[in-house]
Amino acid sequence: MQNTIVVPKFRIGSRRFDVFPLWIALLIAGLVFGAFGGYEVFRYGLQVTGLNNHVTWGLWIIVDLSSIALGGSAFVFGVMVYLLRLKRFEKVGRLAVLLGFLGYSTAGLVLLFDLGQPLRFWHPVVFWQHHSLLWEITMCVVLYLNVLIAELIPIIFEHPVFAEHPLMERFPILRKTSDVLLQFAHWLHKLGPLWAILGLTLSILHQASLGATYGMLTGRGIPFDPTAPVLFIISAMGGGTALLFLLSIFVFRVMRPGLVDDKTLYDVAKLAGGILLLWVYIRMWDWAVVNYYSVQQTITTQTELLDKIAPFSTSFWIGQILLGTVAGFVLLYAGRIKNWKVLGTTAVLPVILIVILRWDYNFSGLVASFSWDPFTPTIWLHSYTPTWQEWAVATGVISYWLLGFSLAARFLPFQSTMHSEHE
């Protein structure tokens, strides 16, 4: 049976309050604010944004890339549960599926506004451009989002409302419909190994292609980076697993205490820590290759220009290397530290790292664009400032993510009652 859900309450004086309704109201307000910005974009086009012909990707694409990366735990734990058959991670894996769905659907919402012609969002699915990296990324994301939906449906249909609601007895048609839905969910659950294989394949393909896109778009310079595809994959695995650990503390220790044992949560933290340290190691070699084995003079000039208008180098050494190293070691030794406040706070650092990494790649390649000429290489410095419409849309889609997680954390079951023939 599903454990009783404990609703967190906050104390003000001698009284305890359930802040959940206020939290939901705040997120709905964020959605409304986002709707105002979205209306402006749909009515007037991208001219209401700070984007231009030189800086074509800005705030929205950072939200897009970050949300996709932070859903990276879905394919990691799909492999662990269904292919490696580590069943003790099954409940955590269900939360990972939820985070994956929220991340990829958030990215889809962002792209709906980021496209110059939003009503043509379906064109890549019909008009294939198989020589384009962006087309391959689009197809992988669309297909993987469908895989995540197939994995999420059994979790939703296991809610007691589909089997125990009083209306089921009063209206036989509802009972029959519920039985059909549960059979369909059980069939999808049995296909778990297939979804795991598809999820792993599609995720690796599009995460790698996202990293490769920046090198191809800018030609050469800081983003021209053969290891960028690997860095994007590993950072999604490490950052996504760290976020999963952070939210697992809230879901499985606060709201559903005892549903997942502490050792399993410590192992999730250790996995995130190990992946993050691997990422730091590769990132340092990547920095050395870019700065010392490429056209060093132009790389230095590009970096100096970026440092004049933004803390580019500081964000690399502190926002990526330092945060990754600290978070990696602390999470790796989670079983010895055993302090949930320290571990939870540390798990926030890889989330920040993910955002900074995506921002730096986008920022360095577009704001300081590199024109490669074998005789007279030139670097152009551009400017970009997000408008209130961009901030509004970003607020709206982030509110959607938080609203989806909040409702699922309170109402969705995470303990499966389905047992497939593969188990």
CB 358 within 8 A of CB 4: no
The three-point CA angle 329-331-336 to 5° equals: 90
Span 370-377, average pLDDT: 62
Residue, of 417 and 120, whose pLDDT is higher: 120
Span 84-89, average pLDDT: 91
Span 140-154, average pLDDT: 92
| Res 388: pLDDT | 95
> Cα separation of 48 and 391, whole Å?
12
CB within 8 Å of 371: residues ≥ 6 apart: 219, 377, 378, 379, 380
> Cα separation of 414 and 67, whole Å?
22
> Cα separation of 66 and 146, whole Å?
20
| Res 124: pLDDT | 87
| Res 325: pLDDT | 96
| Res 420: pLDDT | 43
Predicted confidence (pLDDT) per residue in 239-252, tens digit? 999 999 999 999 99
Global pTM? 0.90
Span 110-115, average pLDDT: 90
| Res 284: pLDDT | 92
Span 104-117, average pLDDT: 90
Residue, of 65 and 290, whose pLDDT is higher: 65
Residue, of 101 and 412, whose pLDDT is higher: 101
Q: Which helix (H) or strand (E) holds 144?
A: helix 133-157
Domains of the chain: 16-381+394-411 (1.20.1630.10)
Of all residues in the chain, what percent carry a pLDDT higher than 90? Answer: 52
3-state secondary structure of 371: strand
* Residue written as token pair 């530290």: 337
Structure tokens at 308: 């004049």
Query: Per-residue confidence at 10, pLDDT binned at 50, 70, 90?
Result: confident
> Cα separation of 327 and 346, whole Å?
6
| Res 101: pLDDT | 95
Query: Per-residue confidence at 1, pLDDT binned at 50, 70, 90?
Result: very low
Span 299-317, average pLDDT: 83
- Size of the chain, expressed as the number of residues it contains: 423
Structure tokens at 359: 């921002």
> Cα separation of 330 and 322, whole Å?
12
Of all residues in the chain, what percent carry a pLDDT higher than 70? Answer: 92
Span 166-177, average pLDDT: 77
Predicted confidence (pLDDT) per residue in 264-286, tens digit? 999 999 999 999 999 999 999 88
Query: Per-residue confidence at 232, pLDDT binned at 50, 70, 90?
Result: very high
Question: Which of the 8 DSSP states describes residue 236?
Answer: H
Which string of DSSP letters, residue by residue, matches 117-131? SGGGTTHHHHS--TT
CB 283 within 8 A of CB 231: yes
